[in-house]
Amino acid sequence: MHVEQQVQTWLNQQGLGSCILTPLTGYTNHVFRVEAAQDPKCSVIRIANHELAAGLCPLAQYPKHVISLHQDAVELDLAPELLGFDDQMGLMWLADVGERRTIQRHDFAEIRTLLARLHSSDLAWRSPEQTELDGANLLMLQRLATSADPKLSQIAQQLLKLAIHRGYANYPIKPVHSDLNPGNWLHDGQRWWLIDWDYARLMVAEWDYASLIVEQAWDQTHAQAFAPTMLLCDLAWFCACFALLSWDWHVQRGTQELAAKQAITTYWLQRCESGR
């Protein structure tokens, strides 16, 4: 059955009747805006893409875990209300909380408050495949250090050396979203919401700030204006590390963004080597 038909059938079973389904952009899942004649409010369906290779779509591989992560985020008032779900299909039915919007400097205080609420919670998130905690992603760097790509390997080795010297493996871990790309921020006209908690886990708090800064393509001036002062001395390293992992992600998939990802990685590597 076609994905859109699956969604329509599932919504019918929830008593919603005939709906207009509008496809929205989704990187790993199928996403639809739902408009029902008997409900003036729109909603959103996320359904797993089971055609992707194993590991590329957590909602397909670990649906119960992903749904539980989102439910935790709802409890913290960070994520849209979960109207319903199906953990066999890998389907989540969410309240519509607005549109994607570019984060501006006047939003920084609110964003910091939302992240602080998450990082100060006592959620003990572990990804299903996780055998040991790796707050600074050093295991991934170790893998990249032996990459067949000499550029990736060299930078990974440089970052590992700095991480060992600075003791990042011993930094306290917090619950983090870990995938704060522009598509995962929604604004309802009053406030910000976060979606796509599929990769949420325990890591150092710097990882969330670094992922947001790198994915927003902010420079050091914007990063310093955004991030809490207590994180600034280490932030360039975490930005370089996240940028490198993003670069590797695009290498594996052969996208058109490789040059841009390499440039961002080099930018932050230079700053983390000279900034401390």
Q: How would DSSP label each residue in 162-213? A: HHHHHTGGGSPPEEE-----GGGEEE-SS-EEE---TT-EEE-THHHHHHHH
pLDDT interval class at 132 (50, 70, 90): confident
Q: What was the pLDDT predicted at 1?
A: 56
How is residue 52 annotated by DSSP?
Answer: S
Q: What was the pLDDT predicted at 56?
A: 80
Identify the structural domains of the chain with CATH numbers, from first to last: 3-96 (3.30.200.20), 102-274 (3.90.1200.10)
pLDDT tens for each residue of 48-88: 998 887 778 999 999 999 999 999 999 999 999 999 999 99
Pairing of the two strands 99-100 and 29-36: unpaired
> What's the full length of the chain, in residues?
276
Of these ranges, 56-60, 112-116, 248-252, the one predicted with the greatest mean pLDDT is 112-116
pLDDT at 27 over 90: no
pTM of the model: 0.92
pLDDT at 275 over 70: no
The angle subtended at Cα 63 by Cα 246 and Cα 47, nearest 5°, is 80
pLDDT at 130 over 80: no
pLDDT interval class at 44 (50, 70, 90): very high
pLDDT tens for each residue of 164-179: 999 999 999 999 999 9
